[in-house]
Amino acid sequence: MPADFDGEYWDRHYGGGAAHRVRQPTVHLVTEVGDLAPGTALDAGCGEGTDAVWLASRGWRVTAVDLAATALERAREHAASVGADVADRIDWVRADLTTWTPPGKGFDLVCAHYVHSTAPSGTLLRRLAASVAPDGTLLVVGHHPSDPHPGQPARAAEAHVTAEEMAASLDAGWDVLVAGTRTRPAGGPGGHGSTARDAVLRARRRR
């Protein structure tokens, strides 16, 4: 297993069969974004596209970015299976979030869930935050440090962060609406098994 979360690692991860095909959107996305009026959205680290498809089905125009070609292929298949009206609202982009720079202040919503980047978490968060439009929303969810993931590469520690650390990476132009630790069921498609602890940050860019 490589030391970094590179394209080879993620293609192997998503190439492991149907077990990775999660079809339910991230619970924190539904909770935090469900009441927002649709606009333009960036799904950073979209994986197999479940969150992007959920957003598009609610009227959002989505740019979905991921490093893994296998994940994006499955994401396109998923979107197509839902219908052309949803699939046509999603632009799929293969890119490494460690180096990719999204358009400045161009999205009404920028979300990132459990992104495993080789860049420090604060650096990536600030780059994503810079792409949020005035009055837009930033939603970042990470693994809390008390929620280890045994067996992952050594750099997995960089994917663990507290909500307070994420909030501290934002400048004064933001209103922090949510910054805390939340739990969710983990352990299988049906949510059976252990309880995961997540760091959740939701913030709004001031006009």
Report the C-alpha gap between 17 and 91 in whole angstroms.
24
Residue 102 DSSP symbol: P
Report the C-alpha gap between 78 and 98 in whole angstroms.
26
Strand partners, 199: 142, 181
- pTM for the whole structure: 0.84
For each of the chain's 207 residues, which pLDDT tens digit applies? 344 555 555 555 555 554 455 578 999 999 999 999 999 999 999 999 999 999 999 999 999 999 999 999 999 999 999 999 999 999 999 999 988 988 888 999 999 999 877 777 789 999 999 999 999 999 999 988 876 554 444 444 556 789 999 999 999 999 999 999 999 887 544 445 678 899 999 999 999
Backbone angle region of 186, left / alpha / beta, with phi > 0 → left and psi within -120 to 50 → alpha: beta
Beta strands in 11-164 (DSSP E): 40-44, 61-66, 90-94, 107-113, 132-143
Domain boundaries, the chain: 7-14+38-176+183-205
Say which CATH class 7-14+38-176+183-205 falls into: alpha beta
